Amino acid sequence: METIIYLFKVNIAIAIFCLVYRAFYRKDTFFSIRRYMLHIILLLSVLYPFMDFSFWMAGSATMTDFATSYKKMIPEIVVYFSESDATMTGASSTALSSLLYYFLLFYIAVTCFLLLRILVRAMQIIWLRLRGESTIIEGVSVVKLDIDATPFSFFSWIFINPDMHNEKELHEVLAHEMVHVRQRHSIDILGTEFICAICWINPFVWILKNEIRKNLEFLADNCVINNGDVDIRSYQYHLLKLAYHPSNLTLANQFNISPLKERIMMINVKKSSKVRLIAYTLILPLALLFLIINNISAVAERVGKNNQEDFVFVTVEKMPEFPGGDKALLNYIAENINYPVIAAQNGVQGRVSCTFVVKADGSVSDVQVVRPLDPNLDRESVRVLTTLPKFIPGEQRGKKVAVKYSVPVRFQLKN
């Protein structure tokens, strides 16, 4: 369950960051800044569920008030323990657990397949490097391809078929691919492939992957054009020429990566005003919001401990458990409860809704009737619940805590 919660948090963050990116940043020309911001987006999405700032946040009066309000808004989780309800609840819980278990197995299987695909594609490139002939072009070591394929690079390796290009085109290709090599763009590509393998179910992660790939090409094109020794018109015609030579090597930096139309538009677009850099500060409050949401429960826990020694939770990561489970609890109540004679004579039957607290040591305390039925039945309910033996205590963030339960006690006359 914790794994599923973690994946949920990561995918929600990626989805929101992706929407913000496409709304505010994808059309400007700050390619280097966009590259690093995309790094931050993915890293923060993956790591923020592990970041615990609750100690620092609990020291803020504003955060203390917010955490207290948050706890008040959480609806109480009611656990019912009547025999028929327990059977239905137990069956539903078992079915749900099985469904989540098989879903997680399927999810992991797809992830493993995608990771294996990354390995296979990397091995394809390594195999091309091992069997390829090295040569020097314009002082750069490249691997000669003997197939009709677009030029590409992978880390420090540049692959090219010299027979497909004239001298001017070779210069343009090398200038472009050397940008990828010097700026280590293959790290970005491998990183996004791994993130996609882990979060494959999320369509937004695939959108971000495409945005990262496009931005790397925009960045390389921009560096080549700004270098000044490449004719812009010739460079664009060369891109069009290679558009008909696709490559299946998705881990590589390809000279003619699609969409070609966007690359040509970015080559000719007017440089963005530096005033637009202010928009990049918007990512900071969004990142802070994710950290606050992730830590608010822990802050509420610390606030509770600071303000009240016996803070009682209504929901925790690991709920208390009666020794032997729910069925054993039902049996204990059934064996120890006595139907008040006067209530039976008057034909009174039904449910008495009670609450009690399972303390951090597992003992039961503070038994109360929250929905009375009959004074005699109410007293008997309180009496039997007061005698409950110790539970296995509940836990929150690895610590034993007090947890509140709501338990209806059923009184039913035999027909």
Average pLDDT for residues 234-254, to the nearest whole number?
70
pLDDT of residue 122: 92
pLDDT of residue 81: 39
The label of the residue with tokens 């090409």 reads 217
pLDDT of residue 230: 82
pLDDT of residue 229: 77
Provide the CA 389 distance to its chain's centre, in angstroms: 40
DSSP 271-282: PPPGGGGGGGGG
Backbone angles phi, psi at 394, to 5 degrees: -75, 160
pLDDT digits (tens, 9 = 90+) for 48-101: 888 876 666 555 555 555 555 555 444 443 333 344 544 444 455 566 677 878
Distance CA 119, CA 122 (A): 5
Percentage of the chain modeled with pLDDT above 90 = 34
**Mean pLDDT lowest for which of 228-237, 239-248, 378-387?**
239-248
Average pLDDT for residues 271-280, to the nearest whole number?
88
pLDDT of residue 78: 39
pLDDT of residue 45: 92
pLDDT of residue 26: 85
Percentage of the chain modeled with pLDDT above 70 = 81
pLDDT of residue 264: 84
Average pLDDT for residues 225-238, to the nearest whole number?
83
Distance CA 217, CA 183 (A): 12
CB atoms within 10 A of CB 242: 21
Average pLDDT for residues 376-400, to the nearest whole number?
90
pTM value is: 0.65
Residue 268 has pLDDT above 90, yes or no: no
140-144/133-137 β-pairing: antiparallel
Cβ within 8 Å of residue 169, ≥6 positions away: 238, 241
Residue 301 has pLDDT above 70, yes or no: no
pLDDT digits (tens, 9 = 90+) for 86-140: 444 445 556 667 787 888 899 999 999 999 999 999 999 999 899 989 999 988 9
CATH code for the part of the protein at 312-411: 3.30.2420
CB atoms within 10 A of CB 64: 18
Tell me if 390 sits within 8 A of 362, measured CB to CB. Answer: yes
**Token pair for residue 308?**
């009240």
Cβ within 8 Å of residue 163, ≥6 positions away: none
What mean pLDDT value characterizes the chain? 82
Residue 399 has pLDDT above 90, yes or no: no
- Output DSSP code: residue 325: -
- Output DSSP code: residue 296: H
Average pLDDT for residues 367-394, to the nearest whole number?
92
Distance CA 217, CA 225 (A): 12
Average pLDDT for residues 244-267, to the nearest whole number?
69
Q: Where are the domains of the chain?
A: 2-76+103-288, 312-411
Residue 184 has pLDDT above 90, yes or no: yes
pLDDT digits (tens, 9 = 90+) for 303-360: 555 454 457 887 788 888 999 888 888 888 888 888 888 888 888 888 888 899 999 9
